Amino acid sequence: MQAGFLFHGESHSFRKSVVLLLTHSGGTFATLACANMLKAFTTDLFAVTSEWDTQVARVVREGLCLYDTCLRPLYHMHMHMHMHMHMHAHIMHIYICISHMWLQVARVVREGLPGDRRKQNISFMSYVFVTFAGPRLAEPCSVSAVAMHQLLTQLLLHTMRYLKQPKGADQQLTSGSAHAPFGATYLREEVHELAELNDGSVDALENIVRRGGALNARLRRQGHHWAQHILEAPLSWLLSLAYIGATVIGGGTPLSAVLAAAAEGSGGESGDGVPRWAAALVGVVDTLVYAFLPWWTTVLIRLLQRRPWLHRVAGRSLVVCDVPYVAQTLEAFASKLFALTYSITALSVYSGNAIDHMVHRHTHRVVRGTLLAVGRPDGRLNALTSAENTVCLSANQASSIQNYGVTAETLTIGHHPFKLPLSAEAIFLPRRRKLFVCEAELQEKCSFTAEESLHEASAYEEAEQMRLRMEQRAGPKVELPRAKQASQQPRPRRSSHDKPNVHLSPELRPASNANATIASLETLEGKERAPSELGSSPINAARRDSMYAGARMLGRIEPLDEPFIGAWMLRDPRFDGLTVGQLTRQQTMLQTLYETRVASLQRLVSFMVVLHAMGKRVEDFWRVASLGSLAYDCWSAMAIHPIRQLATPTHPSN
């Protein structure tokens, strides 16, 4: 039970497990240690990384070579011995063979893998998925996180398509009479709809990050507004410095100057014409002014900028509330943006799940002026209604903690165009997708004429009437797009962006893209091939075909030609007899996948735009205010450290 994990070598077996290793740099300690350990237990090691020539990708490829060269023959030898154990004459021979095989394993581990065997059996593209984010001088878990999320979405889509049910299985899914193949509970049409939703997300993300667009300007304006909360501390310090310098150099405060001017005309008891009691009173007031100088200068700045002036005069805290991967990514993103800033403009960042533990972990920390960023699911979808209600309840509960009538400054971002009464700001993301069945049904209900609304009918008649209206709106039966045969599909051409960032030797340049990729990787690993091996031999042709086999098999998932998502169910005989309300419940899984793979990603990018605008404004302030002497670059806090120069924090066995 080391490191808090509840399993160990005796309670959990990793043999023949399918392992997916996720690392942007390809050299993360924990991921790399797991790859080195698990390659002795399973050959199904897959890696998702930023480029091909990373350390974890090399470990995955070496594990495949080790298995294909040594462990596979050893396994077959062991099975052969088990089947012929009753033949005593062969036992000694079998044990001799096994001993020889283990000697071969030891020699491979000590001396390396045979080059010829390696070149014939390894496909360098099959077990390593590349996000094409590439090596970056600094990565604040923004581009890499979004690229990896999108790649995993593509893996999900093509896995669902590859494991599609055989004929007759869809009927079993709807009737519940038998188990679905592979435990799948989705239909083939839903895969095409999810792919369409994912394709539409690209335009939505482009609209979020496009400079000059209305949505991007709104997000950046919110970030600049929050930057004013953080910059009020150095601005207050500058105003205090100016006040102290003016009063000390001028020899008096504004109140003492007013008192002296008033006493000159009327005379007084003291020698200089100023009454003693008046001078003492002005001295007390000036003392209080000096004592609370940071407070009243901050209030003055807030009044001039038209911001709430009763917020606490202290350091700001940011609480990000969304689904775990969004909240944790934004916490790391915002923390790295302010990692190099000065203490007077520091920002404390926390994260939580508004559906789970946000109320118990963070509401007691809410004070006047706390920045609360909340991501809201689209509650217009029936599968997400309860989730949005829970998020809104958590946000309202946190915003209800008030002092002097002031509470936290809450920002909500989501697709549902409804602003919470207790939230300060709400940014709505445009809906760049087709309607779901529940949304189309709501539109049909709103389009009822007055006569239809006044007509008294039973619940069954209303359901039948709604079904007929929805069938008319759905149109003819929706057919699945026909998949092209693999032999008819043109071989995909790879662009220059797909090639590794290495310089090939002159003898390698005439090779094809596939051979050039393999040659580049082998060159990086110190295993160069002879120029004669780059010809069009049967081995090279088979290897090249195996590389593109996956792309030819998967292809592009075409969208369904339907007016709204789920229209195909209204014309499908498998759903005959179901009301529209029952059809909406059939889309629960699709709507959940839309939220986890598409909608949440759009909220993540939107929050990144807000936080980056806030951090960039603080960075620019220090550069301008100090004339460059106190300037810093927020990206340098996220620079990739030389991994080989750092010690491993824990032993790989832990």
The Cα 639–Cα 161 span in angstroms is: 39
What does the pLDDT read at residue 602?
A: 96
Span of 58-62, 63-67, 631-635 with lowest mean pLDDT:
63-67
pLDDT classification of 629: cutoffs 50, 70, 90: very high
The Cα 546–Cα 341 span in angstroms is: 51
More confident position, 225 or 28: 225
The Cα 510–Cα 116 span in angstroms is: 21
Residues 6+ apart with CB under 8 A from 206: none
Is a pLDDT exceeding 60 seen at residue 533?
A: no
The Cα 287–Cα 380 span in angstroms is: 58
Is a pLDDT exceeding 70 seen at residue 476?
A: yes
Between helices 276-291 and 293-305, what is the axis angle to 10°?
Answer: 70
Q: Give the pLDDT mean for 313-335.
A: 94
Q: Torsion over CA of 69, 73, 78 and 82, rounded to 10 degrees? A: 170
- DSSP category for residue 596: I
Q: Give the pLDDT mean for 19-33.
A: 87
Q: Give the pLDDT mean for 182-202.
A: 87
Is a pLDDT exceeding 50 seen at residue 23?
A: yes
What does the pLDDT read at residue 549?
A: 43
Q: Torsion over CA of 265, 266, 270 and 273, rounded to 10 degrees? A: 0
Is a pLDDT exceeding 60 seen at residue 174?
A: no
| Enclosing H/E stretch for 20 | strand 19-22
Instruction: Say if CB 600 and CB 98 are below 8 A apart.
Output: no
434-464 pLDDT per residue, tens? 999 999 988 888 876 555 555 555 666 677 7
pLDDT classification of 642: cutoffs 50, 70, 90: very low
Residue 274 structure tokens: 């100023």
Q: Give the pLDDT mean for 352-363.
A: 91
Q: Give the pLDDT mean for 597-626.
A: 96
Q: Give the pLDDT mean for 637-653.
A: 49
More confident position, 35 or 5: 35
Question: DSSP assignment of 279-328, as one string?
Answer: HHHHHHHHHHHHHTHHHHHHHHHHHHHT--TTS-SS-EEEEEESSHHHHH
Ramachandran sector of residue 369 (left: φ over 0; alpha: ψ -120 to 50; beta: rest): left
> Could you give the percent of the chain with pLDDT greater than 70?
67
Beta-bridged to residue 408, according to DSSP, are none
> Could you give the percent of the chain with pLDDT greater than 90?
40
What does the pLDDT read at residue 510?
A: 35
Beta-bridged to residue 410, according to DSSP, are 372
Between helices 214-250 and 293-305, what is the axis angle to 10°?
Answer: 140
Residues 6+ apart with CB under 8 A from 637: 138, 336, 337, 339, 340
Is a pLDDT exceeding 70 seen at residue 493?
A: no
Q: Which amino acid is at 314?
A: A
Span of 5-9, 65-69, 534-538, 618-622 with lowest mean pLDDT:
534-538
pLDDT classification of 524: cutoffs 50, 70, 90: very low
What does the pLDDT read at residue 265?
A: 65
Is a pLDDT exceeding 80 seen at residue 229?
A: yes
pLDDT classification of 550: cutoffs 50, 70, 90: very low
State the residue for tokens 């039948």. Answer: 464
With H, G, I as helix, E, B as strand and everything else as coil, classify residue 626.
Answer: coil
Output the average pLDDT for the chain.
Answer: 76
Closest to 312 in 3D by CA, of 370, 255, 375 = 370
Is a pLDDT exceeding 50 seen at residue 525?
A: no
Is a pLDDT exceeding 60 seen at residue 172?
A: no
241-269 pLDDT per residue, tens? 999 999 999 888 988 888 888 877 665 55
Q: Give the pLDDT mean for 531-548.
A: 46
Span of 217-221, 242-246, 477-481 with lowest mean pLDDT:
477-481
Is a pLDDT exceeding 70 seen at residue 489?
A: no
296-311 pLDDT per residue, tens? 999 999 999 999 999 9
What does the pLDDT read at residue 486?
A: 38
More confident position, 395 or 58: 395
115-139 pLDDT per residue, tens? 444 444 445 446 888 888 877 766 6
* Cα dist from 79 to 41, 98, 140, whole Å: 17, 11, 50
pLDDT classification of 90: cutoffs 50, 70, 90: low
The Cα 426–Cα 126 span in angstroms is: 45
What does the pLDDT read at residue 304?
A: 95
535 burial level (CB within 10 Å; 0-12, 13-18, 19+): exposed
With H, G, I as helix, E, B as strand and everything else as coil, classify residue 61.
Answer: helix
What does the pLDDT read at residue 481?
A: 74
Q: Give the pLDDT mean for 413-434.
A: 94
What does the pLDDT read at residue 465?
A: 76
pLDDT classification of 373: cutoffs 50, 70, 90: very high
More confident position, 293 or 497: 293
pLDDT classification of 42: cutoffs 50, 70, 90: confident
Is a pLDDT exceeding 70 seen at residue 623?
A: yes
Is a pLDDT exceeding 80 seen at residue 171?
A: no
Instruction: Say if CB 67 and CB 40 are below 8 A apart.
Output: no
The separation between CA 103 and the C-alpha centre of its own chain, rounded to angstroms, equals: 46
pLDDT classification of 236: cutoffs 50, 70, 90: very high
pLDDT classification of 347: cutoffs 50, 70, 90: very high
With H, G, I as helix, E, B as strand and everything else as coil, classify residue 357.
Answer: coil
Question: DSSP assignment of 434-482, as one string?
Answer: PPPHHHHHHHHHHT--HHHHHS---HHHHHHHHHHHHHHHH-SPPPPPP
State the residue for tokens 């007509």. Answer: 455
The Cα 117–Cα 128 span in angstroms is: 20
Instruction: Say if CB 258 and CB 228 are below 8 A apart.
Output: no
